Structure 1
């Protein structure tokens, strides 16, 4: 059990990295699981677990269909005789139009969604602006993740069955780096600019902290979304955030974490992608105890103090409202999620 301090000193990070995580064992018979960014690393390993656990359907997303077909073969290698149907969809989180097209396609074509694991994300130190006018890390990790969450949530709710042992669940992949976010953008919360626009301002947010901040904003978002679900869906859906820990993955090779944690420490302490992905399955099958919570090392943990403090709770509401405002300008369907 991790020390529930709301902080992540190096001593805790080392302890957690050495924690032995249980191999997922909850059967997924008859379930449909969607995993974004599943062509490599953690997403691919999570898909393999779903196949091993006998999911009826596993939907994976990649940026290109070709990468998806290669990933499909890799997922099935450990279980070549599996009866799990694997489908490949394409989506580019750097484009709201692509996200909308993807979500609409899933809503139209997929009969039900029992588990959705939003794993896709990026970590980059360069300042890149998307075609939609947002800094790319902010758009991919926060806005597009939130957009997909909100568009697919009604479909996920349709999978609720009172007799089922598994709750329909939305898992948002976040990170323990949210503990280290400096969050200087909070000073703009009460100003016209707001937090998101401050995050989108190069003069304010061009630093390594932008990745940490994106993960903090995800935690804020999922906590507020959980409140909306309780009020409007009567708890029929679980939404949770999961930290896979420091892992050998494509994300780390993009640079941010490597710049913060010495390369030697990474290679000594990092989990394999398979071990990290165990957190995904734990969160996806934990049920109500994980609802609105932050999960790490296969347990519910206390998020950063800047999330749980009185100030943090107010900031969480503000972040959620700003995300809803930005996305409502793109899609009227998002407006219903306003609190």
Structure 2
């Protein structure tokens, strides 16, 4: 049972909202950073001020992104030719795969993959691929993109002799949604595909519709944590970040969200600084959740037996989905399997053990 004060640590969230984070000082000189979603617009400005080599925006709305580019050039004095805008629609697996292939072929190097795209539909929409939209955008497509770009990130780390980074923008909903979710039952026979826990989540059987966003964030966090256990942090550093709450199209979509924002919201600049900082291989953050500039202590829920079971199920089921979508994903997972075989048991999170 998740304790109420652990799921809703309003005191901590209030302190986070009032925190004044200093501007990051680490240079991003000559690094290539791919940003998924215009939601990370303030972080892009911070990265520009830190002399990032190349910014690549992967967005659904190109016109909106071009307006952001104009702002960065004007406000930061950043060279327009160092910013690329590419279209990707995460509600489409084909668009996601095409985007990953484009980046793999066209970019000389990829140092940071910043995953900040999300949707928060309070009504249920199903994509053309047959998945609930929140689940596909927040988890499945982002997992597909991370897997397909993993070889590029690893090659870039070898070139630079410095870790590449996958940073996933999460939220406090990872804590708050846990008490409202149904967890998978691991002792029952595995249902035939396409049934399973992810399919139940897609069909609205795991939590109520207003909590679907948080459930999908939990799914992706579980998957990210499992992935990190298979990667050498000296090559690819993986973590998630809770940057706090700021005004955005997602946060103003309902009366409850607006009230929450009024009580716990912070300026876009402070959120941008937190997100930019998460693009660094922060000490002890590999596989963990960052709370601004600090590594957050895992909640009791995320270290529970139920959470370990859920991580394994989400990892396995996501692998089944992604391998069906891409032969490249099959090969990349096979490479990860070889690394598992060569690891000591204490390096592997229980959720991905055979």
TM-score w.r.t. structure 2 length?
Answer: 0.85
SS in 2 for 1:116: strand
Between Structure 1 and Structure 2, how many residues are aligned? Answer: 324
Q: 2:47 aligns with which of 17, 39, 50?
A: 50
User: Could you say if the C-alpha distance between residues 327 and 265 of structure 1 is closer, same or farther in structure 2, counting changes exceeding 3 Å?
Assistant: closer
1:217 equivalenced with 2:228 (yes/no): no
**Structure 1, residues 90-116: CA drift from partner, whole Å, max 9, x if none?**
001111011011111111101111111
**Structure 1, residues 46-95: CA drift from partner, whole Å, max 9, x if none?**
11111111111000122133223222112222122547700001001111
User: Could you say if the C-alpha distance between residues 34 and 275 of structure 1 is closer, same or farther in structure 2, counting changes exceeding 3 Å?
Assistant: same
1:241–1:295 CA contact under 8 A, matched in 2: yes
Q: 1:195 aligns with which of 181, 194, 197?
A: 197
TM-score w.r.t. structure 1 length?
Answer: 0.89
2:100–2:149 CA contact under 8 A, matched in 1: yes
Larger deviation, residues 280-289 vs 244-253: 280-289
1:158 equivalenced with 2:155 (yes/no): yes
User: Could you say if the C-alpha distance between residues 223 and 51 of structure 1 is closer, same or farther in structure 2, counting changes exceeding 3 Å?
Assistant: same
For structure 1, which runs of at least 5 residues remain unmatched after alignment?
none
Matching residue of 1:299: 294
CA shift, 1:287, in A, is 3.4
- Compute the RMSD of aligned alpha carbons: 2.2
| Counterparts of 2:95 and 2:296, CA distance in 1 | 34
| Counterparts of 1:317 and 1:77, CA distance in 2 | 47
1:180 equivalenced with 2:182 (yes/no): no
User: Could you say if the C-alpha distance between residues 302 and 81 of structure 1 is closer, same or farther in structure 2, counting changes exceeding 3 Å?
Assistant: closer
CA shift, 1:298, in A, is 1.4
2:48–2:78 CA contact under 8 A, matched in 1: no
| Counterparts of 2:261 and 2:56, CA distance in 1 | 31
Matching residue of 1:14: 14
CA shift, 1:196, in A, is 0.3
Q: 2:321 aligns with which of 306, 321, 326?
A: 326
| Counterparts of 1:173 and 1:219, CA distance in 2 | 10
CA shift, 1:268, in A, is 4.4
| Counterparts of 1:87 and 1:208, CA distance in 2 | 35
For structure 2, which runs of at least 5 residues remain unmatched after alignment?
338-351
Q: 1:59 aligns with which of 37, 53, 56?
A: 56
